[in-house]
Structure 1
């Protein structure tokens, strides 16, 4: 995760945004005497929102955790997407 001052981020905003999208990194922007912010891509934000939505239901959270455990244990099955 990269950390930039507000001044540096502002001076190179296009490069910061390109790096966030192309390199899939988060950038922390610090501000004097104020709370810092994090810059993430829209895809990353949407993925976080989807995960939060899925985790909102206890039943969904249990199913998701079980599926992750199966994949981690090597019990996953590769499939080709339908044509």
Structure 2
């Protein structure tokens, strides 16, 4: 996680934005009076929102936990994939 003050961010905006998007970094922009801001890439934000949605639904959460337990206990099967040619 990066931490940068507002002035430094303003002076180096492109470099910091590239670092956030290219390196999947989260950046905290420190400001006066502890009114800090967090900057995320759009990809990271979308992933976070998807996880909030999936985990926020009790039925989805329970299904995921049950599936994880089945996998950890070896209750799974593998299958060979069949390659289909384009027509």
- Secondary structure of 1:33 counterpart: helix
TM-score normalised by L of structure 1: 0.78
Alignment-derived partner of residue 49 in structure 1: 49
Could you tell me how far apart the structure 2 residues matched to 1:30 and 1:62 are? 38
Q: Which residue does the alignment assign to 1:60?
A: 60
Between Structure 1 and Structure 2, the one with more strand by share is 1
2:8 alignment partner in structure 1: 8
Query: Counterparts of 2:48 and 2:31 in 1: how far apart (Å)?
Result: 25
Q: Would you identify which runs of 4 or more consecutive aligned residues in structure 1 move more than 2 Å?
A: 64-71, 73-80
CA distance in 2, matches of 1:78, 1:20: 38
How many residue pairs match? The answer is 81
Q: 1:58 to 1:35 in 2, by over 3 A?
A: same
Over 3 Å counting, the alpha-carbon distance change for 1:22 and 1:58 in structure 2 is same
Which consecutive residues of structure 1, in runs of 5 or more, have no partner in the other structure?
none
Give the greater-gyration-radius structure (CA).
2
Structure 2: where are the runs of 5+ without partners?
none
Q: Normalization by structure 2: what TM-score?
A: 0.75
